[in-house]
Amino acid sequence: MRARATLATAVSEPVRVRSLRARVGAHAGKVSRWGLLLTAVALFIALLATGLSAYLAVEGSMVPLVRLLARELVASARHSLHAAGVVTPEAVQDMLGELGSEGVRYVAVIGPDGAPIVSAGTPAVTSWSPADAGPGPQLELGPGARARVTGPFVGAGRGAGWRARTGAPPDAPLPWEALSDARIVIEFEPSAVQHLSAHVLATLVIGACTALVLFAATVVFWRLSLRAERTAAQLERDRQLKTLGQMSAVLGHELRNPLAGLKGHAQLILRKLPEGDAARNAAEIIVREAVRLEQLANQVLEFARTGEVRPRSEDPLLIARGAAEALDCQRVRVESRPEVLPPWSLDRPRMEQVLTNLLRNAVQASPESDPVELATYLEGEDTLVFEVRDRGEGLAPGDEESIFQPFVTNRPKGSGLGLTLARQIVEGHGGRIEARNRQGGGAVFRVSIPREQG
């Protein structure tokens, strides 16, 4: 027993150190990936928020900008018509040509009765909605990108300005005196404001697309990093198993012959000693410990010899029942969903070995009054699942992965090779074996085998 403990300790300490390093490296990789993802999310939100705030700011200032442009257009129209001295169709047409580059499409001088005195351009046939009710020219908005502004033909101070330019006396009549009650109507398309809005919208779209591309690239790199980490962990585990397998083969062979001689001589001595002899108890202890060491050596050799599996079409439920019968324990309950499962590509002896080992561990971990369950079912159409459930103390935090490492065990009489062999066999089928705590107490060991792709 001391020899087995020494062997397990000597081999498991480096394995535990490597396992701890692997867990630390995996944790660091996980933190790095989450940091990258959170950074990408922050940049995504920042780009989107910046573009959206700029767009909303421009959209919110659209009406004030259009109102400012409308007042400038009314002032320019007054100045142009007043400078002409006489309001004629030619003068209005010339003014329309001057203001056409600013988006003006229709200009009219409207009399007090609402009829146009003179006009140029084509008015829009549409309905208008007031944009404001303040003093000054009244702005109205139509559908699409059309606006209309109405203001007095003669603004405040226009007479004084005309007299100052022409040197006319203060009592001289104004050339447009007859139009003092008239109004100017201008319909225009605020192209500058539209260009600004379109530019901001384009900036928002480009920012959103850039943010989406950045986020998608981050997700891709996340997946690649996770895949690379899993590949590296698998390669490291394979390297460890190969090294341990080579060492175990040498160690198992070196132990097996001396143990066989030790056990044989101890059994011969035991036969010659009479009942009640004090030396007989010592011989019995030697035989018992030699048998335990021989079993350990056999397990070590089995670990070293575990090679490729040879799957054939088998009934999964028969394999589950065979494992339960091999354990010969009335506490094991086998269930299947559905009751009849399709044939699956499995190496029956190896898979029974896996399930028997899991059931034995579950029986040892559970109280004697509690049953152990072996469930067999399909997950989707392409995955066969075996689940062994116990009612023991469950798994300590962090043991969900480390218990599959060679020579790592929490049982005083365990070799720490059973679950390692189980993982090798399951992975030889292209599947996975996982351990987790069970809700309500206990542990669950889950073996999933994918359907063989033809």
Query: 245-258, pLDDT tens digit by residue?
Result: 666 666 666 666 77
Q: Structure pTM?
A: 0.45
More confident residue, 55 or 312: 312
**Mean pLDDT computed over 4-22:** 49
d(CA 300, CA 405): 14
Query: 191-244, pLDDT tens digit by residue?
Result: 777 777 788 888 888 888 888 888 888 888 888 888 888 788 777 766 766 666
**Mean pLDDT computed over 127-132:** 81
- List helix spans (H) across 85-190: 89-99, 158-166
Query: 275-332, pLDDT tens digit by residue?
Result: 777 787 888 888 877 777 777 676 666 655 655 678 999 999 999 999 998 887 888 9
E strand intervals along 83-191: 104-110, 116-121, 129-130, 138-141, 147-152, 183-188
Tokens of 148: 């209309």
- Hey, what's the torsion of the CAs at 404, 409, 410, 413, to 10 degrees? 140
d(CA 285, CA 147): 107
